[in-house]
Chains A and B, each alone.
Chain A
Amino acid sequence: EDKVVQSPLSLVVHEGDTVTLNCSYEVTNFRSLLWYKQEKKAPTFLFMLTSSGIEKKSGRLSSILDKKELFSILNITATQTGDSAVYLCAYSGAGSYQLTFGKGTKLSVIP
């Protein structure tokens, strides 16, 4: 069965720290991997990755995909309290619109 595993499940850091969130997946017919940030409400889109080795960057956030090893990481540098959220990883398979989500990593950034 296809699945997505995120680690760690939760993480507490101090402001200014750098964090790396992990996402591994097992899926047939992989098409893309996506990262979302979920605060108290709905997820907001961060990145979509389709090719290995190409880093996507947005401000202090960056992400990269390794299709050979079937994992992706999300990096956040110089963390701020506003980065506190659950970060969700999801994949989509070819021929389907369905997104399959991992359980998420709950990040807490303390002042």
Chain B
Amino acid sequence: GAVVSQHPSRVICKSGTSVKIECRSLDFQATTMFWYRQFPKQSLMLMATSNEGSKATYEQGVEKDKFLINHASLTLSTLTVTSAHPEDSSFYICSAPPPGWNTDTQYFGPGTRLTVL
């Protein structure tokens, strides 16, 4: 099956710093990737849709200047949490639909657990 990786798997940072999370499709090209956030005991919430070669589309309530998304190639999307604060601590997961599949059958990366002190 299609493989999506994320790096890092876990990061701890100080309040006010920025953190970059990478999402890679390892064996297929992804023109679209999705970024989700999951707080403890909560659902996955879609934050934004990352589009290769164009601007990301953000969901309502997600600050685009705080969560910077760059999809510079067909296999890599990055999410940068700028000026992170403790309330940004969460589990961030990316996903991508493999080509030729129904877009709904997204494959997820292993996630990145962010802790902001």
Interface string of B43-71 (1 = CB under 8 A from A): 11110010000000001000000000000
Interface residue stretch chosen among A16-24, A59-67, A77-85, A92-100: A92-100
Given A32-B102, A32-B104, A92-B104, also A99-B110 (CB < 8 A): no
Interface bin, chain B = 20 to 34
CB within 8 Å of B: which A1-15 residues: 4
In the complex, the chain A residue whose C-beta lies closest to that of B42 is: A103
Tell me if B34 and A42 are in contact (CB < 8 A). Answer: no
Given A103-B43, A104-B43, also A42-B108 (CB < 8 A): yes
Interface bin, chain A = 20 to 34
Number of A-B contacts (CB under 8 A): 55
Tell me if B49 and A97 are in contact (CB < 8 A). Answer: yes
B106 to chain A, nearest CB (A): 7
Contact residues in A for B84 (Cβ distance below 8 Å): none
B99 to chain A, nearest CB (A): 14
User: Among A34, A92, A97, A102, which residue has its beta carbon within 8 angstroms of that of B43?
Assistant: A102
Residues of B within 8 A of A (CB): 6, 32, 34, 41-46, 49, 59, 93, 95, 97, 102-111
What are 26 of the A-B contact pairs (CB < 8 Å)? Answer: A32-B102, A32-B104, A34-B105, A41-B111, A42-B95, A42-B109, A42-B111, A43-B44, A43-B93, A43-B108, A48-B105, A92-B104, A97-B49, A97-B97, A97-B104, A98-B46, A99-B44, A99-B46, A99-B104, A99-B106, A100-B46, A101-B43, A101-B44, A102-B43, A103-B41, A103-B42
